[in-house]
Amino acid sequence: MTTETTAPVTAKIPAPATPYQGDIARYWNNEARPVNLRLGDVDGLYHHHYGIGAVDHAALGDPAHSEYEKKLIAELHRLESAQAEVLMDHLGAIGSDDTLVDAGCGRGGSMVMAHRRFGCKVEGVTLSATQADFGNRRARELRIEDHVHSRVCNMLDTPFEKGSVTASWNNESSMYVDLHDLFAEHSRFLKVGGRYVTITGCWNPRYGQPSKWVSQINAHFECNIHSRREYLRAMADNRLVPQSIVDLTPDTLPYWELRATSSLVTGIEEAFIESYRDGSFQYVLIAADRV
C-alpha cells in the first residue's frame, strides 16, 4: 500500500517560481555524475558539496596498487563528510526536540548526518524532485523518515512557521538565489537566538570583479556566485549577525588537488584550483545569529 511517507514527491511538484528555477530543477533532476554517486556509495551518505582537511596519504597507499582508485574515492568522500561535520560544529546546541532546515538539501547526506549527531528533525528543500525522492528513499531505508524529510520547494518561499526553526543552513546552495531574498526567508522561520550557517564559494572583493575562473564555474553549474561583501551586507540587512567567518580556502585545496588526479574528474577542477590559488575565489564558512 502506498502511504503518505512512501509516495514520491513527484506526485505534487509545485510549478517553478521562475524560468531560471525550472532550469535548475532540470539540471539537478538529470545529474548523475560518478564523482557524486560513487562517493556516496562508500557509506550511503550522498553529498553535493566539496571536501576539506588534510589528505591521509598513508590511507591512500601506493598509486600503483590495484585498490588505489577505490581508496582515493573513499578519501574524497571522507573529506566531503568532514566538511559537513565542520558546518554542524557551528550550529550551536541542538536538542532532539529541535527542527533544523537544510536549504538546498541535494540528495540529503548532510540531513542524515545532522539527525545522527543531534537526534533532531531535519527538513530539507530542493528544487529537484529526483533529489527529494532520493533523500526520502534513503531516509526510509535508514528508518529515520519520521525525522528526516525532503520536499520539492523553493528555499525563498518555504512552508515553515515563523520562528519555528532552531538552526538552518545552506551548504553550497546559496549561489542559486538572491541573497537578500534568501536571508529574509531564513530570518523569518528561525527563532530569535537561532543559528544560520553557510559554507559557500564566493568571489573575493579584494580581487575586484569575478575572475575568468569564477565565470567558468558559474557557466559550468548555471549558478551565480556572489561576493563575500554581498553575503555580509545581505545578512546585516536581515537580522543575521555573523559570529564566525572562517576562510576554508587552504583547507579545501588538498581535496581539489587530489580530485584532479582521479579518474572521476569532471573538467571543473582547474577552475577551482586556479581561482583559489590566485585569490579571486574563496571557500568560506559564515555562522550567524538570528537577533
Ligand X SMILES: CC(C)=CCC/C(C)=C/COP(=O)(O)OP(=O)(O)O
* Residue ranges in contact with ligand X by CB under 6 A: 33, 35-36, 48-49, 172, 175, 201, 217, 221, 223, 225, 266, 268
Q: Does 174 bind ligand SAM (CB under 6 A)?
A: no
Nearest distance from C-beta of residue 31 to ligand SAM, angstroms: 9
Q: Does 138 bind ligand SAM (CB under 6 A)?
A: no
The burial of 29, by beta-carbon neighbours within 10 Å (0-12 exposed, 13-18 middle, 19 or more buried), is given as middle
User: Binder to ligand SAM among 81, 99, 128, 136 (CB under 6 A)?
Assistant: 128
Residue at 212: amino acid letter: K
Q: Would you give the binding string for ligand SAM spanning residues 63-102, x where CB under 6 A is met?
A: ----------------------------------------
Residues 16, 152: Cα–Cα separation, whole Å: 10
Residue 48 or 90 having the CB closest to ligand SAM: 48
Q: Does 172 bind ligand SAM (CB under 6 A)?
A: yes
C-alpha cell at 51: 571536501
Nearest distance from C-beta of residue 142 to ligand X, angstroms: 21
Q: Which of 21, 50, 46 is nearest to 258 (CA)?
A: 50
Dmax (CA) for the chain in angstroms is: 58
Residues 214, 173: Cα–Cα separation, whole Å: 16
The set of residues, in sequence order, having a beta carbon less than 8 Å from that of 17 and lying 6+ positions away, is 154, 156, 157
Nearest distance from C-beta of residue 48 to ligand X, angstroms: 4
Contact (CB, 8 A) for 40 and 47: yes
Nearest distance from C-beta of residue 94 to ligand SAM, angstroms: 18
Q: Does 50 bind ligand SAM (CB under 6 A)?
A: no
User: Which of ligand X, Mg ion, ligand SAM, none does 127 bind, CB closer than 5 to 8 A by kind?
Assistant: ligand SAM
Residues 286, 186: Cα–Cα separation, whole Å: 14
The set of residues, in sequence order, having a beta carbon less than 8 Å from that of 20 and lying 6+ positions away, is none
User: Binder to Mg ion among 36, 150, 200, 280 (CB under 5 A)?
Assistant: 36
Q: Does 280 bind ligand SAM (CB under 6 A)?
A: no
Residue 16 or 163 having the CB closest to ligand SAM: 16
Q: Does 249 bind Mg ion (CB under 5 A)?
A: no
Angle between helices 19-30 and 129-141 (to 10 degrees): 50
Q: Does 81 bind Mg ion (CB under 5 A)?
A: no
Contact (CB, 8 A) for 199 and 172: yes
Q: Which residues bind Mg ion (CB under 5 A)?
A: 36
Q: Which residues bind ligand SAM (CB under 6 A)?
A: 21, 24, 28, 47-49, 104-106, 109-110, 125-128, 131, 154-156, 171-173, 176-177
